[in-house]
């Protein structure tokens, strides 16, 4: 018990409830839960599926899951940074859609490399606009990115003129998707690299530290000399760029692009993965590798249900419940700390 406080003031009350030993114990437990958090259910699910379904553990099935989830993983990894920095990006689905159609249109007439670059550039640009609106004009990130997703979605429809853009099967896109190294397809390698880089960015660099500080206590971060606005813009730019990269991966795999390709479903799948991974929607904490596990956890549920022949209906219900549990645990952890 601290015997702080010479003068009665508000802080007093907070300091008085500091049964430090007790809080220390529950916090450590909480900390370890947060770190282990999603890993334990993931391993349990993995073992269960391995036992219940013969084809599950096949290398081809596992690589297929990774290949399918590549775009989502990239976008969710960057989205984690946005959440940690105290924002949220609901526009990634629309950005992904716009990036793919722009890239597809260019890919029809020019080199695939140029088209891929364009996809990422479109994503970065949208992210920059999001970041500027949120920080300079101080509009709530949720509303900004929601509104932007309508604007971008409209532009994407205009670009594609409502068509499905189909690319040739022997261009650069197809080569990228079908090439592999150590029998793992290139898109998976790119994703792995991207996720690792962002993970290190968040946990080992000054920018990552500033993101955590900005999301944890923006006022304190600013007074400590952190350029909070700049940091948040960086997070949004990375998130937009990741949507562009996700677009590149998916066009290559599917050899087609469509304005409505991502949409709100992708934005929410990404968010679900991040939250299931234990990153707090309130900002200030989170980790990229746990997001990756969160995304794969959701993917495993889908894969497992398919392999076991369970009605996809239940898949949705289970996913919803898991999300509620993840957010509930976060809220509970926060309330315990007060």
Partner 1 sequence: MPTRTFDEQSVSSFDNPGGDLVVAGVSKRFGGVPALSDVSLTIEPGKVHALIGENGAGKSTLGKIISGVLEPDSGTLTMGGTPLVLRSPREAIGHGIITIAQELAIVPGLSVAENVYLGSEFATAGFVRRREVRRRFRELAHRAGFDLSPDVLAGSLSTADQQKVEILRALSRNASIVVMDEPTAALSGNEAAALHEIIRSLARRGSAVILISHFLSEVLSLADTITTLRDGHLVRTVEAKDATTESLIEGMLGRTLSSAFPDKKLAGSDAPIVLEVDQLRAPGVDDCSFVLRRGEILGIAGLVGAGRSELARAIFRDAKVSQGTVRLDGTELAGHSPHRSIHRGLVLIPESRKSMGLMMSRSVRENISLSRLDLLSRFSWIAGIRERREVARVMEQTTVKAASMALPAMMLSGGNQQKLLFARSMMKTPSVLIADEPTRGVDVGSKRAIYDLLAQMADDGMGIIVISSELDEVLGLAHRVLVMRNGRFTADLTGSDMNEQAVLAAAFDETIAN
With binding defined as CB under 8 A, does residue 12 bind partner 1? yes
Q: In angstroms, how far is CA 292 from the centroid of its own chain?
A: 8
Q: Give the binding range for partner 1 (CB under 8 A) out of 5-13, 71-79, 105-113, 247-255.
A: 5-13
Instruction: Give one word for 65, left, alpha or beta, with left for phi > 0 and alpha for psi -120 to 50.
Output: alpha
Question: Smallest gap, in angstroms, from Cβ of residue 106 to partner 1?
Answer: 33
Applying CB under 8 A, among 180, 217, 260, 264 the residue interacting with partner 1 is 217
Q: Which of 157, 239, 170 has the alpha carbon at shortest distance from 198?
A: 239
Q: Which two tokens stand for residue 231?
A: 């940091």
Residue 60 burial (10 A CB sphere; 0-12, 13-18, 19+): exposed
Between 39 and 222, name the residue whose CB sits nearer to partner 1. 222
With binding defined as CB under 8 A, does residue 164 bind partner 1? no
With binding defined as CB under 8 A, does residue 8 bind partner 1? yes
With binding defined as CB under 8 A, does residue 196 bind partner 1? no
Distance CA 230, CA 25 (A): 37
Between 4 and 44, name the residue whose CB sits nearer to partner 1. 4
How crowded is residue 162: how many other Cβ atoms within 10 Å of its Cβ? 10
Applying CB under 8 A, among 26, 205, 306, 316 the residue interacting with partner 1 is 205
Q: Which of 67, 76, 142 has the alpha carbon at shortest distance from 276?
A: 76
Question: Smallest gap, in angstroms, from Cβ of residue 334 to partner 1?
Answer: 9
Applying CB under 8 A, among 115, 129, 221, 266 the residue interacting with partner 1 is 221
Question: Smallest gap, in angstroms, from Cβ of residue 226 to partner 1?
Answer: 7
Distance CA 295, CA 73 (A): 7
How crowded is residue 127: how many other Cβ atoms within 10 Å of its Cβ? 30
With binding defined as CB under 8 A, does residue 281 bind partner 1? no
Q: Give the binding range for partner 1 (CB under 8 A) out of 6-14, 77-85, 92-100, 296-304.
A: 6-14
| Contact criterion met (CB below 8 Å) for 296 and 138 | no
With binding defined as CB under 8 A, does residue 222 bind partner 1? yes
* Beta-bridge partners for 181: 184
Q: Which two tokens stand for residue 78?
A: 């960057």
Question: Smallest gap, in angstroms, from Cβ of residue 16 to partner 1?
Answer: 5
User: Rounded to whole angstroms, what are the CA distances from 68 to 53, 62, 178, 296?
Assistant: 19, 10, 13, 10
With binding defined as CB under 8 A, does residue 61 bind partner 1? no
Q: Give the binding range for partner 1 (CB under 8 A) out of 2-10, 93-101, 133-141, 295-303.
A: 2-10
Question: Smallest gap, in angstroms, from Cβ of residue 1 to partner 1?
Answer: 8
With binding defined as CB under 8 A, does residue 204 bind partner 1? yes
Applying CB under 8 A, among 207, 281, 327, 329 the residue interacting with partner 1 is 207
With binding defined as CB under 8 A, does residue 169 bind partner 1? no
With binding defined as CB under 8 A, does residue 11 bind partner 1? yes
Q: How far apart are the first and last CA of the chain?
A: 16
Residue 260 burial (10 A CB sphere; 0-12, 13-18, 19+): middle
How many residues of this chain interact with partner 1, rule: CB under 8 A? 41
With binding defined as CB under 8 A, does residue 32 bind partner 1? no
Between 205 and 306, name the residue whose CB sits nearer to partner 1. 205
With binding defined as CB under 8 A, does residue 1 bind partner 1? yes
DSSP symbols for 207-230: HHHHHHHHHH-HHHHHHTT--HHH
DSSP state of 166: E
**Binding to partner 1, residues 127-146 (CB under 8 A):** none
Residues that bind partner 1 (CB under 8 A): 1-9, 11-12, 14-16, 18, 20, 23-24, 27, 204-207, 209-210, 212-213, 216-217, 219-227, 284-285, 337
């Amino acid at each position: 018990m601290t015997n702080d406080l010479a003068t009665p003031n508000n802080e007093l009350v907070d300091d008085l409830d500091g049964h430090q030993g007790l809080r220390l114990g529950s916090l450590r437990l909480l900390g370890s839960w947060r770190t282990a958090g999603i890993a334990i259910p993931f391993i349990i699910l993995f073992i269960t599926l391995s036992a219940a379904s013969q084809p599950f553990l096949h290398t081809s099935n596992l690589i297929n899951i990774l290949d399918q989830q590549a775009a989502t993983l990239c976008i969710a990894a960057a989205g984690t940074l946005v959440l940690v920095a105290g924002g949220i990006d609901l526009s990634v689905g629309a950005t992904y859609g716009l990036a793919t159609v722009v890239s597809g249109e260019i890919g029809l007439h020019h080199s695939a490399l140029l088209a891929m670059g364009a996809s990422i550039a479109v994503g970065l640009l949208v992210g920059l606009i999001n970041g500027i609106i949120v920080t300079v004009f101080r509009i709530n990130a949720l509303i900004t990115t929601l509104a932007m997703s309508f604007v971008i979605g409209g532009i994407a429809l205009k670009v594609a003129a409502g068509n499905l853009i189909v690319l040739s099967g022997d261009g650069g896109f197809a080569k990228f998707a079908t090439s592999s190294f150590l029998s793992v397809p290139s898109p998976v390698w790119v994703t792995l690299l991207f996720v690792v880089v962002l993970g290190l960015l968040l946990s080992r660099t000054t920018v990552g530290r500033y993101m955590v500080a900005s999301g944890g206590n923006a006022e304190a971060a600013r007074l400590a000399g952190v350029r909070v606005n700049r940091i948040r813009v960086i997070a949004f730019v990375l998130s937009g760029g990741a949507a562009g990269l996700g677009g590149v991966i998916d066009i290559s795999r599917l050899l087609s692009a469509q304005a409505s390709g991502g949409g709100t479903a992708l934005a929410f799948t990404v968010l679900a993965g991040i939250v299931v991974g234990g990153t707090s929607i309130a900002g200030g904490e989170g980790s990229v590798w746990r997001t990756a596990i969160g995304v794969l956890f959701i993917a495993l549920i889908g894969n497992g249900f398919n392999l076991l022949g369970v009605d996809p209906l239940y898949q949705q219900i289970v996913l919803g419940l898991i999300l509620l549990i993840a957010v509930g645990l976060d809220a509970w952890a926060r309330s315990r700390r007060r």
